[in-house]
């Protein structure tokens, strides 16, 4: 048995494959994580650390895309590459059973690119929503200062609300608009142009047009939205963490029945660019938002680690948006890919922040 365990830890996916056939007698992959990357809350970073993160993001915006020439004309930079891969897979990686795992690797690949391609020496910071839920514009993330990720947009009065779904009676479900709506008016990302999209949510049903890869430079939009921000406060975070099944946890994060969930409301709290279901990684806040999602997933897992990470309460859903009844349920063997950003991994490979090549913790 000792020999078996040793050989299994070399290949994470094999560990989990064999374990499944052993049912309850699971041996978790042994961690070789000695000095984890420590991911911190953005407000707790020093001015120097905040500026280092911002410069690393700008560095990725200045590095050329790695797509083969002509494949994604709208992806001009390494920064854009992340959005392009996300757009391409949007209807596989959301509101289903691979959402958490796919985005865990996505954030890890981003953090790794900052470190390896841009000399960043920190770890991925996260946006702890409840800290600023009552007043987003006063947060160190979005106050518009030169250590923020940019503030609100210029006021655009041409609309009143956002449609977030359809109610059972057929009428539109809406949320009020925020205080900006136009191009980001201050901070380090003030003049940033984003190159892909925008995309309407309804493309989820019709599919992306063939020209989704087109170059369409437009400004980064923000519309700081207190209504949605409030729905990411401690009450909602506690409710998500108090769920006892992975299905309920996933629903508390994102489902339509929880009125966007804390995940969806975080996207809507910032405005149009982060709201774009397909192209949201073009707002630099995306990776801090998903750092927080990943942190909550890990906090939830730790309440019953074995069952919620490698056991029977770890996975629920399919690899298709809205989990249609015809789609197969995910297992630890379900594979995912990150296009040109990374390789292929199975869900079993991405279950723990300290196994299978991952090595990070949240402070």
Ligand X SMILES: *[C@@H]1O[C@H](CO)[C@@H](O)[C@H](O)[C@H]1NC(C)=O
Pick between residue 59 and residue 336 the one whose CB is nearest to ligand X: 336
Residue 72 dihedral angles phi and psi, to the nearest 5°: -130, 85
Please identify which residue in 214, 242, 302, 333 interacts with ligand X, judged by CB under 6 A. Answer: 214
Q: How many Å apart are CA 224 and CA 137, to the nearest integer? A: 7
Question: Which member of 234, 299, 306, 363 binds ligand X (CB under 6 A)?
Answer: 234
The least distance separating ligand X from the CB of residue 158, rounded to whole angstroms, comes to 19
> From CA 199, how far away is CA 178, in angstroms rounded?
20
- The distance of closest approach from Cβ of residue 134 to ligand X in the complex, given in angstroms and rounded to an integer, is 7
Q: Does 237 bind ligand X (CB under 6 A)?
A: no
CA distance 116 to 105: 16
- Tokens 């947009």, located at residue: 153
Closer by beta carbon to ligand X, 216 or else 354: 216
Q: Which of 70/170 has CB closer to ligand X?
A: 70
3-state secondary structure of 356: coil
Q: Is 313 helix (H, G, I), strand (E, B) or coil?
A: coil
Tell me how far apart the alpha carbons of residues 333 and 341 are, in angstroms, rounded to a whole number: 21
The residue from 39, 231, 289, 345 that contacts ligand X (CB under 6 A) is: 231
Instruction: Please give the residues from 89 up to 118 whose contact with ligand X meets the rule CB under 6 A.
Output: none
CA atoms within 13 A on the CB side of 148: 18
Site string for ligand X, 163-202 (x = CB under 6 A): ----------------------------------------
CB closer to ligand X out of 191 and 238: 238
* 203 touching ligand X, by CB under 6 A: no
In order of 96, 161, 200, 259, the CA distances from 168 in angstroms are 21, 19, 22, 13
What residues from 59 to 88 belong to the interface with ligand X (CB under 6 A)?
71-72, 84-85, 88
234 half-sphere exposure, CB direction, 13 A CA radius:
3
Tell me: does residue 339 bind ligand X (CB under 6 A): yes
Q: Which residues pair with 186 in a beta bridge?
A: none
Binding interface with ligand X (CB under 6 A): 71-72, 84-85, 88, 135, 137-138, 209, 211, 214, 216, 230-231, 233-235, 245, 247, 316, 329, 339
């Amino acid at each position: 048995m000792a020999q078996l365990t040793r050989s299994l830890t070399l290949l994470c996916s094999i560990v989990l494959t064999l374990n499944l056939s052993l049912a309850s007698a699971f041996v978790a992959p042994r961690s070789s994580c000695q000095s984890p990357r420590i991911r911190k809350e953005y407000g707790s970073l020093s001015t120097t650390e905040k500026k280092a993160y911002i410069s690393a993001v700008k560095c990725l915006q200045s590095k050329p895309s790695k797509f083969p020439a002509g494949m994604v004309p709208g992806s001009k930079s390494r920064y854009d590459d992340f959005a392009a891969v996300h757009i391409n897979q949007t209807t596989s990686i959301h509101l289903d059973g691979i959402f958490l795992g796919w985005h865990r690797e996505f954030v890890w690949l981003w953090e790794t690119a900052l470190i390896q391609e841009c000399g960043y020496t920190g770890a991925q910071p996260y946006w702890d929503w409840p800290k600023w839920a009552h007043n987003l514009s006063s947060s160190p993330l979005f106050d518009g200062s030169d250590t923020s990720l940019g503030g609100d947009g210029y006021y655009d009065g041409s609309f009143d609300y956002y449609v977030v779904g359809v109610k059972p009676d057929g009428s539109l479900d809406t949320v009020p608009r925020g205080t900006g709506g136009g191009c980001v008016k201050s901070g380090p990302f003030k003049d940033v142009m984003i190159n892909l999209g925008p995309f309407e949510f309804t493309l989820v049903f019709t599919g992306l047009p063939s020209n989704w890869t087109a170059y369409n430079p437009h400004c980064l939009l923000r519309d700081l939205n207190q209504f949605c921000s409030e729905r990411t406060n401690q009450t909602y975070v506690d409710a998500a963490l108090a769920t006892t099944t992975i299905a309920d946890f996933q629903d508390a994060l994102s489902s339509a029945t929880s009125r966007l969930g804390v995940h969806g409301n975080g996207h809507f709290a910032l405005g149009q660019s982060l709201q774009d279901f397909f192209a949201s990684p073009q707002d630099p806040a995306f990776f801090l938002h998903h750092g927080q999602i990943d942190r909550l997933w890990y906090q939830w897992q730790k309440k019953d680690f074995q069952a919620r990470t490698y056991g029977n309460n770890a996975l629920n859903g399919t690899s298709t948006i809205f989990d249609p009844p015809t789609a197969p349920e995910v297992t630890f063997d379900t594979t995912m890919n990150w296009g040109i950003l990374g390789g292929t991994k199975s869900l079993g490979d991405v279950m723990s922040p300290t196994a299978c090549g991952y090595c990070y913790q949240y402070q």
